[in-house]
């Protein structure tokens, strides 16, 4: 027996087997149960969401010989089986894209007056009905106005806007939705379980996103992935098959932007080039990541829990302001448009990233994730130098731009003393070590989420809770190892275990401090007589989320 593609083999044969479109199925089922049958149904939606499938199931519901008119056809009578096999004489399927002439439509409608040969109803299923010509619509209109009682019209279209209003007004219209990626992935999981094929969940999620809401496209891609992976669906194979950019690359780019690290940006681009990345697709996927980042900044629950990079995006949401994200998104849009004008795609992609660095407002740069989230102490203020005087020792270096703007180029802080090269003996010792590290950057954030276990020679062992395991990254771990080596004045190696630990991390302690300061700030605002006077005079109100603790 020849192989049957998954899209045909797993085409739903009942409403219960459909994935999604519950709003349409509920209306149709209720209408069938109560006998409220319309003479013309219009199913609208993008490709592969189930328009023709629902129409065929509805044809079985109307012509089932064993159950009568029902929302649950038996699937075993001759009418049901012939409809499934595409040879039921009273189901006339028409592809309007290939029969656009008015003569074709008139020839089709000449037989409307005759009773069905076998079934209860004669059903005309017209696919891509918007492709009919204006004269064809005029020929169809009269029949739609006064159809014989034994005739039902099932119309399907991907573009209902092209249908005349006179046709739309005579149809019961159902708009089918794009299917969510997680719903597609769940359906693919069920199919592979029946097929006995092993698959990685990440690979199926990737296929779900690539399908862009179309179940038929998802099944076609799944067929391709099975062939590509030799009867196994692996995430790495699917990524190569689709030509996707690894999400780790995109997140590393965003992390480098968050800490304003130009060298790290170029290193990531170099590794992408080694993997043969499509830089035009890379910009598109970077824009998608920025969109998700903006969503998660607006609503922490906006993204699905199973999205693999969700936790890392949440951390980045604390390291980049919403203004940064919007600026980067706009720069990326312009860069994507101009990429064909670049000498080569890699050069254009690098310039887009460097433009993001160059045009980030100086007042915002750099804001590291840990600093913004946990309220780092500000730099001590310095007296204004006299004109012509050299900067005082310990003051921040400032240069004048050509337009007279001032940009800070070096943090004004006292040199941090190096700790003694001995292991911490308690949580407080470890906290002191972490707090002595330079603030800012993902390495400092990783240290802040770790608990001290032990030091065995040059090996430092730490533990991080599984909820923060997404911070583990070879590049970030290497930077943290270097920071600790520099601070303890010894060359160390680092091992970080994932698991639950006892004790309070630096980040938890800093968060508690921030919450205490925030509560104190809210109390101060609430008891401020000036605020009370403004509320009374102008009927003003305090927006709780706008209250931020003072950093002095």
Tell me: the pLDDT tens digits for 121-166? 999 999 999 998 888 888 888 888 888 999 999 999 999 999 999 9
pLDDT at 307: 54
Average pLDDT over residues 75-83: 93
Cα→Cα distances 115→67, 121, 527, Å: 21, 8, 83
For 132, which DSSP code? Answer: S
Q: Which CATH architecture has domain 276-373?
A: Up-down Bundle (1.20)
- Look up residue 360 and give its two tokens: 């980030």
pLDDT exceeds 80 at position 457: yes
Burial of 499 (0-12, 13-18, 19+ CB in 10 A): exposed
Cα→Cα distances 362→122, 326, 394, 405, 449, Å: 71, 16, 21, 10, 29
- Look up residue 8 and give its two tokens: 């045909």
pLDDT at 150: 93
DSSP state letters, 38-107: -SEEEEE-STTSSHHHHHHHHHHHHH-TTT-S-SS--S-SHHHHHHHTT--TTEEEEETTT--SHHHHHH
- The CATH class that applies to domain 181-242 reads mainly alpha
Helix (H, G, I), strand (E, B) or coil at 501: coil
| CA 373/CA 511 separation, integer angstroms | 8
pLDDT exceeds 60 at position 287: yes
| CA 83/CA 60 separation, integer angstroms | 7
Average pLDDT over residues 395-410: 33
- Prior bond to 73 cis, omega within 30? no
Which one of 120-124, 250-254, 470-474 scores highest in mean pLDDT?
A: 120-124
SS3 of 367-389: the string is CCHHHHHHCCCCCCCCCCCCCCC
- Pairs from 162-165 (Cβ < 8 Å, separation ≥ 24): 162/130, 163/42, 163/129, 163/130, 163/137, 164/134, 164/137
Summarize pLDDT for 108-119 with one digit per residue, the tens.
Answer: 888 888 899 989
DSSP state letters, 397-450: PEEE-TTS-EEE-S---PPPPPPPSS---SHHHHHHHHHTSPS-SHHHHHHHTE
Residue 311's contacts (CB-CB under 8 Å, 6 or more residues apart) are: 467, 468, 470
pLDDT exceeds 60 at position 421: no
Residue 274's contacts (CB-CB under 8 Å, 6 or more residues apart) are: none
Place of tokens 């969940």: 201
Tell me the backbone φ, ψ of residue 174, rounded to 5 degrees: -125, 125
Tell me the backbone φ, ψ of residue 111, rounded to 5 degrees: -95, 0
Average pLDDT over residues 226-250: 83
Q: Who has greater pLDDT, 428 or 109?
A: 109
Helix (H, G, I), strand (E, B) or coil at 11: coil
| CA 253/CA 122 separation, integer angstroms | 60
Helix (H, G, I), strand (E, B) or coil at 463: strand
- Look up residue 540 and give its two tokens: 């003003």
Mean pLDDT is lowest, of 296-300, 371-375, 458-462, for 371-375
**CATH number of the domain at 6-175, please?**
3.40.50.300
pLDDT at 440: 64
Diameter of the chain measured on Cα atoms = 103
CB atoms near residue 397 (< 10 Å): 10
Helix (H, G, I), strand (E, B) or coil at 140: helix
Place of tokens 């999604």: 20
pLDDT exceeds 70 at position 36: yes
pLDDT exceeds 60 at position 428: yes
Give the alpha-carbon dihedral of 47, 50, 55, 56, to 10 degrees.
110
pLDDT exceeds 90 at position 366: no
Mean pLDDT is lowest, of 190-204, 223-237, 394-408, for 394-408
pLDDT at 244: 67
Cα→Cα distances 226→179, 184, 191, Å: 22, 16, 12
Confidence bin at 402 (pLDDT 50/70/90) = very low
CB atoms near residue 11 (< 10 Å): 17
Strands 40-44 and 172-175: parallel
Contact call for residues 198 and 233 (beta carbons, < 8 A)? yes
Cα→Cα distances 312→254, 446, 498, Å: 10, 12, 16
- Pairs from 251-254 (Cβ < 8 Å, separation ≥ 24): 251/289, 251/309, 251/312, 251/313, 251/316, 252/473, 252/475, 253/286, 253/353, 254/286, 254/289, 254/290, 254/293, 254/316, 254/320
Global pTM reads: 0.58
Summarize pLDDT for 480-534 with one digit per residue, the tens.
Answer: 888 888 888 888 888 999 887 777 888 888 888 888 888 888 888 888 888 888 8
Q: What mean pLDDT value characterizes the chain?
A: 81
Q: Who has greater pLDDT, 495 or 363?
A: 495
pLDDT exceeds 50 at position 448: yes
pLDDT at 551: 54
Summarize pLDDT for 495-507 with one digit per residue, the tens.
Answer: 999 887 777 888 8
Average pLDDT over residues 531-548: 77
| CA 497/CA 461 separation, integer angstroms | 8
Average pLDDT over residues 88-103: 86
| CA 170/CA 413 separation, integer angstroms | 75
Q: Who has greater pLDDT, 90 or 440?
A: 90
pLDDT exceeds 80 at position 310: no
pLDDT at 327: 92
pLDDT exceeds 80 at position 38: yes
**CATH number of the domain at 427-503, please?**
3.30.300.150
Residue 415's contacts (CB-CB under 8 Å, 6 or more residues apart) are: none
pLDDT at 303: 65
pLDDT exceeds 50 at position 365: no
Give the alpha-carbon dihedral of 44, 46, 50, 54, to 10 degrees.
10
pLDDT exceeds 80 at position 85: yes
DSSP state letters, 242-307: HTPPPHHHHHHHHHHHHTT-HHHHHHHHHHHHHTT--HHHHHHHHHHHHHHHHHHHH-TTSS-TT-
pLDDT at 539: 79
């Amino acid at each position: 027996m020849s192989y049957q593609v998954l899209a045909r083999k797993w085409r739903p044969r009942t409403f219960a087997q459909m994935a999604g479109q519950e709003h349409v199925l509920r209306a149709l089922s209720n209408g069938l149960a109560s006998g409220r049958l319309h003479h013309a149904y219009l199913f609208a939606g993008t490709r592969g969401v189930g328009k023709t499938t629902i129409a065929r199931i509805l044809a079985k519901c109307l012509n089932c010989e064993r159950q009568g008119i029902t929302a649950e056809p038996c699937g075993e009578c001759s009418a049901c089986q012939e409809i499934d096999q595409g040879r039921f004489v009273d189901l006339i399927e028409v592809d309007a894209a290939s029969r656009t002439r008015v003569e074709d439509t008139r020839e089709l409608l000449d037989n409307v007056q005759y009773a069905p040969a076998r079934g209860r109803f004669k059903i005309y299923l017209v696919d891509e009905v918007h492709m009919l010509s204006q004269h064809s619509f005029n020929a169809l209109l009269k029949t739609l106005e006064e159809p014989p009682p034994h005739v039902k019209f099932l119309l399907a279209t991907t573009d209902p806007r092209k249908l005349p209003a006179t046709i739309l007004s005579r149809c019961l219209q159902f708009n089918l939705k794009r299917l969510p990626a997680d719903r597609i992935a769940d359906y693919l999981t069920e199919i592979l379980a029946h097929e006995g094929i092993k698959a990685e969940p990440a690979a199926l999620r990737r296929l779900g996103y690539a399908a862009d809401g179309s179940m038929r496209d998802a099944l076609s891609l799944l067929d391709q992935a099975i062939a590509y992976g030799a009867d196994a669906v692996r995430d790495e194979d699917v990524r190569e098959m689709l030509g996707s950019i690894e999400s780790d690359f995109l997140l590393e780019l965003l992390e480098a932007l968050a800490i304003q690290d130009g060298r790290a940006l170029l290193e990531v681009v170099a590794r992408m080039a080694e993997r043969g990345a499509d830089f035009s697709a890379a910009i598109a996927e970077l824009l998608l990541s920025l969109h998700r980042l903006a969503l998660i900044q607006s609503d922490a629950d906006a993204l699905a829990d199973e999205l693999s990079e969700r936790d890392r995006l949440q951390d980045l949401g604390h390291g980049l302001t919403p203004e940064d994200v919007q600026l980067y998104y706009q720069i990326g849009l312009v860069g994507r448009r101009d990429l064909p004008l670049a000498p080569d795609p890699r050069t254009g992609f690098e310039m887009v990233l460097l433009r993001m660095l160059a045009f980030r407002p100086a007042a915002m740069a750099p804001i590291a994730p840990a600093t913004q989230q946990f309220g780092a102490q500000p730099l001590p203020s310095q007296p204004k130098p006299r004109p012509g005087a050299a900067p005082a020792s310990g003051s921040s270096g400032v240069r004048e731009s050509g337009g007279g703007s001032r940009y800070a180029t070096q943090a004004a802080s006292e040199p941090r003393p190096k700790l003694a090269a001995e292991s911490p003996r308690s949580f407080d010792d470890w906290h002191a070590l972490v707090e002595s590290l330079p603030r800012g950057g993902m390495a400092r954030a990783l240290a802040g989420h770790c608990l001290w276990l032990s030091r065995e020679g040059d090996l430092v062992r730490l533990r991080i809770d599984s909820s923060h395991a997404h911070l583990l990254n070879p590049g970030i771990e290497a930077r943290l190892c270097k920071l600790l080596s520099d601070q303890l004045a010894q060359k160390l190696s680092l091992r970080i275990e994932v698991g639950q630990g006892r004790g309070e991390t630096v980040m938890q302690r800093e968060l508690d401090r921030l919450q205490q300061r925030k509560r104190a700030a809210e109390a101060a605002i609430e008891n401020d007589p000036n605020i009370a006077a403004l509320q009374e005079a102008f009927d003003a109100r305090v927006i709780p989320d706008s209250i931020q603790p003072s950093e002095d």
